[in-house]
Structures are given as structure tokens and as C-alpha cells.
Amino acid sequence: MQLGNYCSRFQNLTAVVIGGGSGLGKATCKRLAAEAARVIVADIDVETAQAVAAAIQETGGSSEAAQVDVTQEKAVQQFFKGPGRDVDVLINSAGTMWTKSFEDLTLPDLQEAFGPNINGLLYAMQQASLAMRAQSKPEASKRAIVNISSTAALASMPGLTAYSAAKAAIRQLSRSAAVELAPFNVRVNTVLPHGTDTEGVRGFAAQLPPELQAVFAEVNMPKLIPRLAQPEEIAAGIAFLASSDASFLTAVSLSWMAVSLFS
């Protein structure tokens, strides 16, 4: 994707994308860079983060890579206190998908599901909001956080109890944060993708038990638009919520559930 195809909604802004090394995070990094953001690609896998940052730089964008494990609170604190972390936009895209039946689910399983999906998201939001509030530059009115949830927050399938619970928690945590951060002019919104063609989704589907693979394929396939979404299409929605075009939107959930429910 060459720069210049989009407007410059993020001119002079720094965007941190947690989980930016792959999937929706990767597509979002490229979209924000194409709209003139300085993008910090943050991921636990520093090699994938470096590859995304390099791809952005090759097309004329401004980007750098950083390694961070968002499940470790101190690591997140150190990351946001690092040089050049004058963050204006935070995208939380890190997360995991795995399956286990409700009857076999244990408390450690829930804790594992909540680690990157909730704990990491909370740590990142807390540190990013502190960094945003400490700024005095003119662009302070454009501060925004967008968290990636899933339509699994609204409906589930066998084996996804812990994942669905974590994604539902993201949605409500985002709304609560929006209320408390509104006085500081920080908007917080959520996107709930459905049926997106990413390497993570393909890998998850491949490791499902045979009896669940058909169920997952059917549930994951949208009805009104009978194909999987491309990551770039979801990234466009993320970029909108992060931009000044959504300046009067906070505590909002942008969901793709309708394409899956109605025929």
C-alpha cells in the first residue's frame, strides 16, 4: 500500500499499536501510516514488529518497532516511559484465541484468556492515558484509544467460553474507561470484528477438533456479505474511530455482527 492514497488525518500524531506485528494490528499500522501517523509497532514478537515497521518505512511512512509483553505490568510501564512515547492514539490489538469446553474450563484457563485480552489492555490503557494527559501540544484534542474486541462478545460457540468472556469484558472495560477519561479529552471506543481473514484466525481454525471446524466455519462466515472480511477493511473502521472524524464518538462499539445474523 503506497502512502498518499488516504487523507492525512493523523498528521503530527503518534500512534501506538499493541499487537501490531500481525493480523488486524499489522493492517492498522499500515492504514494509520498511510494517513500520516508516526506509528510505533509494538509486539511481543519483535521480529514481526520490525518487519511491519520496515514495510511502512519503505513506502515513505514514519514507523519504529518495539518489543513489549503487555501481560507484564512493569514492562508496559517501561514501554510508555521510553523515549518518543508521546502517544496520541492507542490501538489495542493484542490477544489470543483458544478453545476449551465449558465443563473442562478452570480458573487458570480464564486467567490465561484474560492475560493478553484484558490485563494487557488495561495496563496499556492506563499508561497511555497518563501519557496523553501529560501532553500540552495542540493535537491534544485528538487523543483516542481504540480497543479490539470481537463479535464473540455478543454471541459464542462451543469451546469459546473463556474467549467470549474476555472479549465481552473488553467492551465493557472500554465503556467504563471512556466515562472516566472523558474529562481529560480522551475518547475510548471498541471495534467488534467478525469473520476476518487473518493468519491468527486461520491458525486457530486449523487446530480445532474436527467436530468444531465445520461449526466455526459456519459461524465465522458472514451472511449478508458472504465472504470473510480483509484486515484492511476492519482497519478502516479502526482508523475512523481513532481519527478526528469521530471526535463526537466515545464509549461506542463498532460491530460487524449484523452481517452474520441476518440473511
Residue with cell 492514539: 89
Per the structure block, which three cell numbers stand in for 245? Answer: 472524524
Q: In what helix (H) or strand (E) does residue 253 lie, and over which residues does it extend? A: strand 253-255
**What string of DSSP letters covers 40-58?**
EEEESSHHHHHHHHHHHHH
The question of whether 6 is a catalytic residue gets the answer: no
Strand order in the sheet with 187-192: 62-67, 38-43, 14-18, 89-92, 144-148, 187-192, 253-255
- Please state, in angstroms and rounded to a whole number, the distance separating the CA atoms of residues 180 and 182: 6
DSSP string, 197-237: --HHHHHHHHTS-HHHHHHHHHHHS-SSS-SPBPHHHHHHH
Would you say 223 and 234 are in contact if contact means Cβ atoms under 8 Å apart?
A: no
Q: Assess contact for 105 and 161: CB atoms under 8 A.
A: yes
Residue whose entry in the numeric block shows the C-alpha cell 485528538: 142
Q: Contact at 8 Å (CB) between 213 and 168?
A: no
Total Cβ atoms within 10 A of residue 248 = 8
Considering 80, 163, 204, 216, which one is annotated as catalytic? 163
Within 13 Å of residue 102, how many CA atoms lie on the same side as its CB?
A: 6
Backbone phi, psi, residue 137, to 5°: -75, 160
Active-site residues, by number, are 163
